[in-house]
Structure 1
Amino acid sequence: MTSEVIIDVQQKEISIALLEDKNLVEYQNEKREMSFSVGNIYLGKVHKLMPGLNACFVNVGSERDAFLHYLDLGTHYCSYEKYLKQVQSDRRKLFPISKATRLPDLPKEGSVQNTLKPGQEILVQVVKEPISTKGPRLTCELSFAGRYMVLMPFQDKVSVSTKIKKGEERARLKQLVQSIKPKNFGVIVRTSAEGKRVAELDAELKQLLKRWDEAIENAQKATTSPQLIHEETGRAVALLRDLFDPTYDGIYINDKEVFKQIKNYVEIIAPDKIDIVKLYTGSVPIFDNFNVTKQLKSSFGKTVNYKRGAYLIIQHTEAMHVVDVNSGNRTRAENGQEANALEVNLGAADELARQLRLRDMGGIIVVDFIDMNLAEDRQLLYERMCKNMQKDRARHNILPLSKFGLMQITRQRVRPAMDVNVEEVCPTCLGTGKIKSSILFTDQLENKIDQLVNKIGIKQFTLHVHPYVAAYINQGMISMKRRWQIKYGLGVRIIPSQKLAFLQYEFYDKKGHFIDMREEVESKN
């Protein structure tokens, strides 16, 4: 199996696609100005206590206050509270954590009103992003995740991933990490650390300790709260940290800055694989080049087609995700209805497992499969679903089919489900249903080019249009594109883009910055 990571960096957002055998299996899209990412650490301020919930709301700067339950304070909250006071008492010299006193554990049966008070400053970490009407979910048990281990201040225990089965290897890793970790720190050894040498583990441990030092220094210098004191690594690097596999065939990035970040990261964790990180410099959009755009258009939306006419209907509600399996207009199998239902359901299990990863659907998922009479067929479907979900990194639980033919799945949810709108509003009429004559579209484009070159003074730019329109502009011995270049200069470039609707266009300057020509025209009217 070949695996490739495609990273599309735009001015306002960054998109990351994971391909397995050229098939899109994971997709992440984030606005570049987003600040409330899982892993971020804040110096927050307790806003309101909720004794009935045994929880409180904390101001971390988000639109809605973040939620912190008493049990999420963690057993080492008292040690954190005392250490924060020691750090903030001297703004010039940092009190080392190695000299900090570990206080008794916080009792599990305690109450929030006896532990916190409104206006109190507190160190918190985001464990779940804002979803729908809910604010971020917080914890006071801080952690710093690396590829091989997770560093946890004020804990003194070394734990090894249960996925490492060999007893000798577990004992080796535990003894090794115990010998290199500093006082007042705990470590969770991740599955990817299996077989790694002490030098590799020690190098990452020093990186994680450096991140802790920087965070606590920021807390020491903070004069007001709430304030961000530690920002999780960029989305591209964070995704690679969890997903990176030395067997990757390539990691392609279309931005020089992000390319350097990822190359530096891969050089640290797998220096022999530095060559798989490649800068994409093609003129065609990177997602179009790797067939990601077309797969996004066909994989998202309410209806998802798969084998021979069968399809899934996926709907999202506040409480859960609901999936309906339909056989569509496919012909029945020769062996009868039962065989046909089994074949459709098995195909649905394959596609659904991909959809859960692709959309990052979390919480409760209820699937209505086609009814099957035979118990062995229902068991086969359950086993197929479990096998397909083995590749999923998110924690999940799958229940066998109920009497009504429903399968219930729970999947870890830390951010809103990914939703890509595949329906296109007409860019010309903006949904009104009336447009100018299509034959005049190229004249409209030429007017825009004339404004850019002769009125605004932008001589070099690219015009992105639908591939059909690009083919029309480029056709002929003396094409329309060539006539434009003769008239307005060789800085005029035409790029086909699969993400655009038929009569939609976008202008970009030579640095790749978007030029809003519609806004330019409207401001003149």
Structure 2
Amino acid sequence: MKKDLIVNVTNKEVEIALLEDKKLVELHKEKHNNDYTVGDLYLGRVKKLVPGLNAAFVDVGYSKDAFLHYFDLGPQAANVLSYLGDVRSKKANASNLKNFKLLPDIDKGGNIKEVLKPGQEILVQIAKEPISTKGPRISTELSIAGRYLVLVPFTDKVSVSSKIKHRKEKDRLRRLVHSIKPNNFGIIVRTVAENKKVADLDRDLRELLQKWDECFHNLKGANPPVRVLGELDRTSALLRDVLNDSFNNIVVNEEKLYKEIQNYMKSISPDQAKICRQYKGKKSVFDHFGVERQIKGSFGKNVTMSSGAYLVVEHTEALHVIDVNSGNTAKKEDSQERNALRTNLEAAEEIARQLRLRDMGGIIVVDFIDMQDSNNRKTLFNKVNEVMKLDRAKHYVLPPSKFGLVQITRQRVRPEMDIKTAEEIPTKDGDTQEVQATILLIDDIENALRFAIKDQNEKVALIKAHPFIDAYFKQNKKKYQWKWFMNYKRWIKIQPRTAYPLMKFKLINASNEEVTTN
């Protein structure tokens, strides 16, 4: 699988598109002034305790206080508070924990009042970005992520990613990390560390310890609330987490960020630094690589798949609901059960992509097309699990219920990506009307043509459409009409109809009858 990372820098934000085999699978937007990114460390102050929720609200500088539940304190909360006290009182004169005496873990079933008090300073990490009307969700289970390792202060535990399957490799990595890690620092070995040399791991560890040292120095003179250690920007964090040998291109449209990314690439993967290049074309970088068209077709209430089947995506406060519709995909030679299975399997792939693309979190309920055969339901369940393996967010998939519903839970750490794709067009009576993105109309016409000719065996001879659409086709005759002639062995005319709205078209057969495709 080939991967491309396309980075579009605008005045307000940085847009990052991840393409797999040229198909958009992730879209990230980071505002230039975003101060509350997952992974950032803050020196905050406890505003109030809420014993009924067993939680505290902490001022980290956001308009809404951050929420800290007792369970998010973590076992090492007493150590975090003790270390912070030593740093703030200047008892600690170095960031290393070599001489730090670890305290016992806090009681799992304890109460927030036993650990915190109003007005107390506290070192916390952003676990979830502010979402909707809620402030950030925070934790005192501190960790700093690197390319191969994750540094976890106040513990001596070493754990290896469960995605590394070979026992010998796990044991090798565990031995290597134990030989290089300092006292009172735990380490999580990431999946990408598989088969890496000790020099690579040691370099990564030293960079993480430098970050911890930076946090230490920032804490000494800080006035809460303040950020004391920032996570990497979204582009670098994405590269750190997903970069592998399958990456094909990293394209950036702005010189400053291009140089920053290239330098970061040289530090984490020197052999791949050459794949990073600056885009200098006249068109938008997203238009040049077809990202904008994919955004228009992938967001919104209805999402059409290549076969003609489509998804209807609805959002509520409590959950997301996705309905699978077969559209015009039915084939005469197939039974209803076979058509349902084929459509459901295609929908499973698209749904997995949609969850990553929109960063949908919480509970997702999918209403697949009903299937009677239990083997087919099992095949669908296996397919959903298979395609969800590409998702880096924590998730869990339940088997289809007797009503054909599949429930998915997916980790939510930042606001869902919500892009308005509907456009307003004028109507003949002077009003405006919302329609799907006009850029997709040509795709709809081509899909309808393909279905009518290939699946319905119709002899389409004419397309009636708005004069603007007629003019577009005539300007691009080689791209469309000649291509149709080669594919379908017949010349298909375009006829302008001024009475038609912009988004309306009709297919007419050789008998001058309208062809129905839905």
TM-score range (shorter-chain normalised) is 0.7 to 0.9
Structural mapping, 1:339-418, within 5 Å = 339-418=338-417
Equivalent position of 1:108 in the other structure: 108
State the distance in 2 between where 1:307 and 1:297 align. 15
Alpha-carbon shift at residue 139 of structure 1 (Å): 0.7
User: In the alignment, residue 325 of structure 1 is paired with which amino acid?
Assistant: V
Secondary structure in 2 matching 1:307: coil
Equivalent position of 2:279 in the other structure: 280
State the distance in 2 between where 1:245 and 1:309 align. 34
Equivalent position of 1:176 in the other structure: 176
1:330-377 Cα shifts (integer Å, max 9, x gaps): 444423222222222111112111111111111110001111111111
Structural mapping, 1:234-249, within 5 Å = 234-249=233-248
State the distance in 1 between where 2:12 and 2:309 align. 37
1:364–1:411 Cα contact (<8 Å) kept: yes
TM-score under structure 1 normalisation?
Answer: 0.80
1:237–1:261 Cα contact (<8 Å) kept: no
1:123-157 Cα shifts (integer Å, max 9, x gaps): 00011111222221111011000110100111111
Identity of aligned residues (%): 53
Secondary structure in 2 matching 1:391: coil
Equivalent position of 2:313 in the other structure: 314
1:141-177 Cα shifts (integer Å, max 9, x gaps): 1100011010011111111111112222111111111
Structural mapping, 1:115-514, within 5 Å = 115-222=115-222, 224-425=223-424, 433=432
Q: 1:92 to 1:398 in 2, by over 3 A?
A: closer
Secondary structure in 2 matching 1:308: coil
Q: 1:141 to 1:366 in 2, by over 3 A?
A: same
User: In the alignment, residue 421 of structure 1 is paired with which amino acid?
Assistant: K
Alpha-carbon shift at residue 70 of structure 1 (Å): 1.1
State the distance in 2 between where 1:333 and 1:388 align. 29
Alpha-carbon shift at residue 394 of structure 1 (Å): 1.2
1:85 aligns with 2:88: no
State the distance in 1 between where 2:357 and 2:332 align. 30
State the distance in 2 between where 1:262 and 1:360 align. 24
Equivalent position of 1:30 in the other structure: 30
Pairs aligned (count) = 435
Instruction: Pick which of 418-427 and 272-281 moved more.
Output: 418-427
Alpha-carbon shift at residue 432 of structure 1 (Å): 6.9
TM-score under structure 2 normalisation?
Answer: 0.81
State the distance in 1 between where 2:404 and 2:22 align. 33
User: In the alignment, residue 402 of structure 2 is paired with which amino acid?
Assistant: K
1:333–1:339 Cα contact (<8 Å) kept: no
Q: 1:324 to 1:289 in 2, by over 3 A?
A: same
2:142–2:152 Cα contact (<8 Å) kept: yes
1:159–1:187 Cα contact (<8 Å) kept: yes
Secondary structure in 2 matching 1:99: coil
Q: 1:333 to 1:348 in 2, by over 3 A?
A: farther
Note the aligned Cα RMSD (angstroms).
2.1
Q: 1:102 to 1:336 in 2, by over 3 A?
A: same
Equivalent position of 2:46 in the other structure: 46
1:474-507 Cα shifts (integer Å, max 9, x gaps): x9xxxxxxxxxxxxxxxxxxxxxxxxxx9xxxxx
State the distance in 2 between where 1:185 and 1:27 align. 34
User: In the alignment, residue 407 of structure 2 is paired with which amino acid?
Assistant: Q
1:8–1:287 Cα contact (<8 Å) kept: yes
1:418-464 Cα shifts (integer Å, max 9, x gaps): 1111123569xxx9759xxxxxxxxxxxxxxxxxxxxxxxxxxxxxx
Q: 1:62 to 1:249 in 2, by over 3 A?
A: same
User: In the alignment, residue 268 of structure 2 is paired with which amino acid?
Assistant: I
2:95–2:213 Cα contact (<8 Å) kept: no
Equivalent position of 1:464 in the other structure: none
Stretches of structure 2 lacking an aligned partner (at least 5 in a row): 434-467, 476-501, 503-518
Stretches of structure 1 lacking an aligned partner (at least 5 in a row): 435-467, 476-501, 503-525
Secondary structure in 2 matching 1:117: coil
Alpha-carbon shift at residue 94 of structure 1 (Å): 4.5
Alpha-carbon shift at residue 69 of structure 1 (Å): 1.0
